[in-house]
Chain A
Amino acid sequence: MTTIVRHRLFWPAAVLVVLLVSNVFFSPRFFTITLQDGHLYGSLIDVLRSATPLALVALGMTMVIATGGIDLSVGSVMAISGAVSCLIIGDLSDQNSVGGVLLAVGAAIVLALVLGVWNGVLVSVIGIQPIIATLILMVAGRGIAQLLTDGQIINVESAPFRVIGAGYALAIPVSVIIVAVVVAVSVLLIRRSALGVLVEAVGASPTASRLAGIRARGLTIGAYVFAAVCAAIAGLIFASNVRSADSNAAGNLIELDAILAVVIGGTALTGGRFSIAGSVLGAVLISALDITTITVGVPAETTLLFKAVVVVILCLSQSAAFRAAVFRRRRTAPVTPAAEVPA
Chain B
Amino acid sequence: MIDVTAPPQPETAATALRKRRGLDRRHIPVLATLALLALMYGIGVGNYDNFSDTQVLLNVFVDNAFLLVVAAGMTFVILTGGIDLSVGAVVALTTVVAATLLNAGWPALVVLPLVLLIGTTLGLGMGVVIHYFKVEPFIATLAGMFLARGLSLLINRNSIPITDPFWTSMAQERIRFGPGVFISTSVVIALVVLLAGAFVLAYTRFGRTVYAIGGSADSALLMGLPVGRTRIAVYTISGFCSALGGVLLSFYMLSGYSLHAQGMELDAIAAVVIGGVILTGGSGYLFGTVLGVLVLGLIQTIITFQGTLSSWWTKIVIGILLFAFIVLQRLVTRRNR
Q: Point out residues on A near B: beta carbons under 8 Å.
A: 70, 126-129, 131-133, 135-144, 146-147, 150-151, 256, 259-260, 263, 269-270, 299, 301-308, 311-312, 315-316, 318-322, 325
Residues of B with C-beta under 8 A to A308: 143-144, 146-147, 150
A133 to B280, CA, bound (A): 13
What are 8 residue pairs bridging A and B, where the CB atoms are less than 8 Å apart in the complex? Answer: A147-B310, A259-B142, A301-B153, A301-B258, A312-B147, A315-B133, A316-B129, A318-B135
User: Do A136 and B136 touch across chains, with their CB atoms under 8 A apart?
Assistant: no
Residues of A with C-beta under 8 A to B138: 70, 131, 269
9 further A-B pairs in the complex, CB-CB below 8 A; given A126-B330, A316-B135? A129-B279, A135-B266, A136-B322, A139-B270, A146-B310, A147-B313, A304-B150, A308-B143, A325-B133
Closest to B273 in A: A132
User: Do A311 and B146 touch across chains, with their CB atoms under 8 A apart?
Assistant: yes
User: Do A304 and B322 touch across chains, with their CB atoms under 8 A apart?
Assistant: no
Query: C-beta contact mask, B117-134 vs A, less than 8 Å → 1, else 0?
Result: 000000000000100111
A136 to B321, CA, bound (A): 9
Question: Is B149 close to A, CB under 8 A?
Answer: yes
User: Do A305 and B315 touch across chains, with their CB atoms under 8 A apart?
Assistant: no
Task: Choose one: B134, B142, B279, B320; the contact of A320 (CB below 8 Å).
Answer: B134
Closest to A149 in B: B312
Task: Choose one: B143, B145, B266, B310; the contact of A139 (CB below 8 Å).
Answer: B266
**Secondary structure dominating the interface of B:** helix
Question: Is B174 close to A, CB under 8 A?
Answer: no
Count A-B contacts at CB 8 Å: 132
From known contacts A147-B316, A308-B150, infer whether A256 and B142 are also in contact, taking CB-CB under 8 Å.
yes
Closest to B81 in A: A129
Task: Choose one: A127, A146, A263, A307; the contact of B146 (CB below 8 Å).
Answer: A307
A303 to B149, CA, bound (A): 11
User: Do B133 and A305 touch across chains, with their CB atoms under 8 A apart?
Assistant: no
Q: Point out residues on B near A: beta carbons under 8 Å.
A: 83, 129, 132-136, 138-140, 142-147, 149-151, 153-154, 157, 258, 266, 269-270, 273, 279-280, 310-316, 318-320, 322-323, 326-327, 330
User: Do A315 and B150 touch across chains, with their CB atoms under 8 A apart?
Assistant: no
A137 to B134, CA, bound (A): 29
A133 to B327, CA, bound (A): 10
User: Do B315 and A140 touch across chains, with their CB atoms under 8 A apart?
Assistant: yes
Closest to B151 in A: A305
A143 to B132, CA, bound (A): 39
Residues of B with C-beta under 8 A to A143: 312-316, 318-319
Closest to A322 in B: B133
A124 to chain B, nearest CB (A): 13
User: Do A305 and B310 touch across chains, with their CB atoms under 8 A apart?
Assistant: no
A132 to B139, CA, bound (A): 15
Chain A CB within 10 Å, residue with most, of B273, B318, B320, B326: B326
